[in-house]
């Protein structure tokens, strides 16, 4: 903290006098000035530290925190420092706990405190671990500010257990059909692993892959050793005692490659034979065929397939044919989606392996159903006298049945309708003579750009359209309403949007739209003389006295006639109506544009409706 210069000067001077406009400053003696300067000086403390190393073998480290000042302050003070510790090294496991708050006495401008770090000898093979000191606060008793270091401090704890030998520590021999062999690998003495340690070993000897499964050697974290089984195969062959030689050549951990493990050793495991009498034994397996796991409809020359493999295992070979029974499951059905024999004869020779190819051709069923699959298992095997044949009912191969049928739905045709006569319709169908295996919903919409008829007034059409499962097509009925309105032929434009079932999506096309016409059966009155109506389709309300109003000639013969005018350019908004029209509407409030009218008149005791376009020109 620095005091303003003016304040310091005011404290240091005895008096101030002004003479002839000149200010005079009168200061006290030099000793007083020195004492006052010492009482007002504020020196900043600087906190520093030293990084050190400790070792598990008893070489303790010490961590020093130092306080210094930049000025010449010689007063006595105390600085209390608080810090936290973190890092991979663990309190009470890798080092003895120490206080997290220390008081540093300061005299003559500096002071320090040394914190001993006692490493614990844990007999664990581990990497160098670090204690991280993070300074949280430093408070001087005098109130002087203390600057903390700009980085954490660290103490490295070095391990003294490196270089311990990893080798074999025991083994047991095995016998076919009896106890498995075992092998034990571990760290010399009672030292422990700080991480999983993989021990790499090579195998040699008279026992091969058909006699045993080579072990995987991993010493778990926190353990001195591991004992793993060596699984012995009962091969039903008279062959005498065999052996396997294991040679350790490397060991490595999971974290990184900086920690070096010393690993070497050799051990021999013996495998005793249990076959004193020659036997005939074999096994049948299902073998898949890679890319031929699939079979496509219509590809009879390239069907999917799998193999049955018989393997001679005993001392006496089996040479008689074997009949293998197969069972299937899955969504694809044998005889409908594909063909596959239920029994297969495997020709057997005295060689070790005998193979037979089993084709699975897909049937072209003209059913849209998507891709399916069949799962094949062995259910039974005929066994020649005096022999033993194994098979595994849980083994399976899977063959995909690829559907080649197009799922497109198109508009196949339409029929026009007439009021009081035939009804309209639209036909939807799949291509060729295909059918679907499920109900298919078809979504559509009415395109206003090609539609002049009004739904609910001129026609009705169902909202939901379904092509039933197993049916090639469906018809959408368009029911024509006899509305007693004199009007031109009207039209409905239907556009298909999408189609879908529970399992598949069905594209629409190539034809996705069609137009159905609705012919009118209402003719304009043919009365002679005054009863004939003449309705204009253009008015020009510009005040020139010609066609300024919507005048219907003959309307006076039809009292209480109703008139409705709609603005077609604004979505059919009603702009005028009259329940007793008197030929007096002049288009007031309407802009130039396209409109439509509906005129209702009473004729011979029934309501007759006239509809048509109306253009306003100004």
Length of the chain: 618
Mean pLDDT for all residues in the chain = 83
Q: How confident is the model at residue 298 (pLDDT cuts 50, 70, 90)?
A: confident
Q: What is the pLDDT of residues 544-592, one digit of tens each?
A: 888 899 999 999 989 999 999 998 877 788 999 999 999 999 999 898 8
How crowded is residue 442: how many other Cβ atoms within 10 Å of its Cβ? Answer: 19
Digit-coded pLDDT (tens) for 100-147? 999 999 988 788 998 888 888 888 888 888 889 899 999 999 888 888
Q: What sections of 267-372 are H helices per DSSP?
A: none
Mean pLDDT of 484-510: 89
Residue 96 has pLDDT above 60, yes or no: yes
Confidence of residue 211 (pLDDT cuts 50, 70, 90): low
Find the mean pLDDT for residues 485-492: 80
Cα 498 to Cα 119: distance, rounded to the nearest angstrom: 75
**pLDDT for res 13:** 42
Token output for 613: 């376009």
Asked if 181 contacts 269 with a C-beta cutoff of 8 angstroms, the reply is yes
Least confident of 72-81, 207-216, 333-342, 491-500: 207-216
Q: Please give the pLDDT value at position 60.
A: 77
Q: How far apart are alpha carbons 222 and 540 in whole angstroms?
A: 102
Most confident of 66-80, 199-213, 238-252, 255-269: 238-252
Separation of alpha carbons 286 and 436, rounded Å = 34
Neighbours of 96 (CB within 10 A): 12
In terms of Cβ atoms closer than 10 Å to its own Cβ (0-12, 13-18, 19+), residue 239 is: middle
Which of the 8 DSSP states describes residue 440?
E
Cα–Cα distance between 387 and 395 in angstroms, integer?
22
What is the maximum span of the chain, computed from C-alpha positions, in angstroms?
143
Which residue intervals of 424-532 are DSSP H helices? none
Question: Residue 220 has what pLDDT?
Answer: 93
Please check whether residue 611 is in contact with residue 487, taking contact to mean a CB–CB distance below 8 angstroms. yes
Angle 342-346-348 (CA atoms, 0-180°, nearest 5)? Answer: 165
Strand partners, 64: 114
What would the mean pLDDT of 179-197 be, rounded to a whole number? 90
Three-point CA angle 302, 305, 309, nearest 5°: 145
| pLDDT band per the 50, 70, 90 thresholds, residue 257 | low
Tell me the Cα Rg of the chain. Answer: 51
Q: How far is CA 611 from CA 68, 151, 448, in A?
A: 104, 90, 18
pLDDT for the residue numbered 160? 81
- pLDDT at residue 238, as a whole number: 67
User: For residue 593, what are the contacts with CB-CB under 8 A and spacing of at least 6?
Assistant: 567, 568, 569, 615, 616
Helices then strands, counting H and E runs in the chain, come out as 2, 50
Predicted confidence band of residue 27 (pLDDT cuts 50, 70, 90): very low
| Residue 307 token pair | 């193999």
Query: With 60 as the cut, is the pLDDT of residue 22 above it?
Result: no
Confidence check: pLDDT of 431 > 70: yes
β-strand 242-252 against 197-205: which pairing, if any? antiparallel
Phi, psi of 268 (to 5 degrees): -120, 130
Name the band, by pLDDT with cuts 50, 70 and 90, for residue 71. Answer: low
Average pLDDT over residues 490-497: 92
Query: Which residues are CB-contacts of 74 (< 8 A; sequence separation ≥ 6)?
Result: 107, 108, 109
CA 162 to CA 261: how far, in whole Å? 7
How many CA atoms within 13 Å lie on the side-chain side of 25? 8
125 versus 496: which is more confidently predicted? Answer: 496
pLDDT at 72 over 70: no
CA nearest neighbour of 393 among 379, 407, 409, 383: 379
Q: How confident is the model at residue 178 (pLDDT cuts 50, 70, 90)?
A: confident
Q: Which domains does the chain have, with CATH numbers?
A: 5-40 (no CATH), 45-158 (2.60.40.2030), 165-272 (2.60.40.2030), 283-402 (2.60.40.2030), 409-519 (2.60.40.2030), 529-616 (2.60.40)
Contact call for residues 61 and 52 (beta carbons, < 8 A): yes
Q: Among 198-207, 276-285, 342-351, 595-604, which is the least confidently predicted range?
A: 276-285
Residue found by looking up tokens 């739904």 in the block = 455
Tell me the residue ranges of DSSP E strands in 87-164.
101-106, 110-117, 124-125, 129-140, 146-147, 153-158
Give pLDDT, residue 531. 59
SS3 per-residue string spanning 368-431: ECCCEEEEEEEEEECCCCCEEEEECCCCCEEEEEECCCCCCEEEEEEECEECCCCCEEEEEEEC
Question: What is the structure's pLDDT at 524?
Answer: 52
C-alpha pair distances (Å), 96 with each of 99, 131, 295, 506, 609: 10, 12, 70, 73, 105
Identify the CA nearest to 492 among candidates 421, 441, 564, 444: 444
50 versus 264: the higher-pLDDT residue is 264
User: Is pLDDT larger for residue 232 or for residue 480?
Assistant: 480
Residue 539 in contact with residue 594, Cβ under 8 Å?
Answer: no
CA 388, 393, 397, 400 dihedral sign is positive
244-254 per-position pLDDT tens digit: 899 999 998 87
> Given a cut of 80, is residue 311 above it in pLDDT?
yes
Between 211 and 19, residue with greater pLDDT: 211
Q: What is the mean pLDDT of residues 498-525?
A: 86
The secondary element (H helix, E strand) that includes residue 33 is helix 30-40
> Structure tokens of 117?
């770090």
What per-residue confidence (pLDDT) applies to 456? Answer: 92
Angle in degrees, 0-180, between the axes of helices 5-12 and 30-40, rounded to the nearest 10: 140
Share of the chain above pLDDT 90, in %: 38
| pLDDT for 38 beyond 60 | no
- Which token pair is 47? 């906190």
pLDDT exceeds cutoff 90 at 179: no
pLDDT at 236: 66
Residue 362, pLDDT above cutoff 60: yes
pTM over 0.85: no
3-state class of 483 per DSSP? coil
pLDDT at 54: 81
302 has pLDDT over 80: no
Confidence (pLDDT) at 212 = 62
Report the C-alpha gap between 555 and 561 in whole angstroms: 8
**Which pLDDT score, from 0 to 100, does residue 32 have?**
41
Look at the block and give the residue holding tokens 């026992």: 207
Rounded Cα gap, residues 386 and 190, in angstroms: 55
């Amino acid at each position: 903290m620095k005091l303003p210069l003016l304040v310091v000067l005011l404290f240091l001077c005895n008096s101030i006098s002004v003479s002839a406009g000149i200010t005079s400053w009168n200061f006290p003696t030099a000793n007083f000035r020195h004492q006052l300067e010492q009482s007002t000086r504020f020196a900043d403390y600087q906190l520093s530290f030293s990084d050190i190393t400790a070792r598990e073998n008893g070489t303790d480290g010490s961590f020093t925190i130092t306080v210094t000042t930049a000025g010449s302050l010689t007063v006595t003070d105390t600085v209390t420092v608080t810090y936290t510790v973190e890092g991979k090294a663990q309190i009470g496991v890798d080092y003895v706990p120490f206080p997290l708050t220390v008081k540093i006495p300061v005299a003559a401008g500096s002071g320090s405190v040394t914190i001993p770090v006692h490493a614990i000898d844990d007999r664990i093979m581990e990497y160098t671990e670090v204690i991280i000191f993070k300074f949280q606060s430093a408070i001087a008793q005098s109130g002087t500010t203390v600057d903390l270091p700009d980085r954490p401090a660290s103490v490295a704890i070095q391990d003294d257990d490196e270089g311990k030998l990893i080798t074999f520590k025991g083994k047991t021999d095995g016998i076919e059909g009896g106890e498995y062999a075992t092998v034990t690998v571990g760290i010399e003495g009672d030292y422990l692993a700080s991480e999983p340690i993989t021990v790499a070993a090579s195998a040699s000897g008279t026992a091969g892959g058909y006699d045993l499964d080579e072990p995987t050697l991993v010493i778990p974290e926190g353990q001195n050793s591991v004992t793993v089984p060596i699984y012995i195969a009962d091969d039903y062959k008279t062959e005498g005692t065999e052996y396997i030689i294991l040679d350790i050549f490397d060991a490595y951990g999971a974290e990184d490659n900086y920690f070096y493990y010393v690993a070497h050793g050799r051990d021999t495991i013996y495998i005793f034979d249990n076959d004193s009498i020659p036997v005939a034994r074999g096994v049948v397996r299902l073998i898949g065929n890679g890319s031929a796991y699939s079979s496509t409809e219509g590809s009879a020359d390239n069907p999917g397939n799998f193999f049955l493999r018989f393997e001679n295992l005993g001392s006496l070979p089996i040479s008689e044919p074997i009949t293998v029974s197969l069972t299937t499951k899955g969504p694809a059905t044998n005889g409908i989606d594909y063909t596959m024999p239920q029994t297969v004869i495997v020709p057997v020779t005295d060689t070790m392996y005998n193979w037979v190819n089993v084709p699975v051709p897909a049937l072209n069923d003209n059913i849209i159903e998507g891709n399916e699959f069949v799962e094949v298992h062995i259910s039974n095997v005929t066994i020649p006298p005096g022999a033993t044949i194994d098979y595994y009912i849980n083994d399976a191969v899977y063959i995909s049945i690829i559907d080649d049928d197009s799922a497109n739905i198109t508009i196949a045709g339409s029929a026009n309708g007439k009021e009081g006569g035939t009804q309209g319709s639209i036909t939807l169908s799949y291509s060729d003579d295909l059918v679907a295996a499920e109900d298919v919903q078809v979504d559509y919409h009415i395109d206003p750009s090609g539609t002049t008829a009004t739904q609910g007034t001129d026609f009705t059409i169902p909202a939901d359209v379904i092509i039933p499962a197993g049916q090639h097509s469906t018809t959408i009925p368009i029911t024509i309403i006899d509305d007693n309105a004199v009007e031109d032929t009207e039209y409905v434009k239907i556009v298909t949007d999408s189609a879908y079932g529970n399992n598949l999506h069905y594209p629409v096309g190539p034809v996705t739209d069609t137009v159905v016409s609705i012919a009118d059966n209402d003719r304009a009155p043919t009365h002679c003389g005054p009863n004939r109506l003449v309705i204009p389709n253009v008015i020009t309300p510009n005040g020139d006295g010609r066609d300024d109003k919507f005048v219907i000639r003959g309307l006076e013969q039809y009292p209480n006639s109703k008139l409705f005018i709609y603005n077609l350019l604004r979505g059919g908004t009603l702009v005028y109506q009259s329940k007793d029209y008197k030929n007096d509407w002049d288009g007031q409030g309407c802009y130039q544009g396209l409109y439509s009218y509906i005129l209702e008149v009473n004729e011979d005791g029934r309501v007759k409706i006239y509809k048509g376009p109306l253009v306003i020109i100004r």
